[in-house]
């Protein structure tokens, strides 16, 4: 389905931004909105369902150099 493909591409962009140390001061919600997720709770649920961890936890691990 095209909608699933688009959502996955948007999630991948969010994941890339959350992993980028240059963007560590940008709130998770701002990154989500940048890539088209208007609702923070929906973004968090979708990110967790796709990657197995919430976006904030993913970011903390990425900054600490831990691979999830």
Domain that holds residue 17: 2-64
- Give the burial string for 31-41 (b: 16+ CB within 10 Å, else e): bbeebebeeee
**Number of compact structural domains in the chain:** 1
CA neighbor of 24 nearest in space, from 51, 64, 66, 68: 64
Q: What is the pTM of this model?
A: 0.91
Only one residue has tokens 């989500």, namely 32
List pLDDT tens digits, range 41-54: 999 999 999 999 99
List pLDDT tens digits, range 23-42: 999 999 999 999 999 999 99
């Amino acid at each position: 389905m095209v909608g699933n493909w688009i959502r996955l591409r948007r999630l991948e962009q969010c994941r890339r931004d959350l992993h980028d140390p240059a963007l560590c001061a940008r709130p998770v919600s701002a990154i989500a909105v940048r890539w088209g997720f208007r609702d923070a709770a929906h973004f968090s649920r979708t990110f967790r369902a796709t990657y197995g961890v919430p976006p904030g936890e993913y970011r903390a691990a990425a900054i600490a150099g831990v691979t999830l």
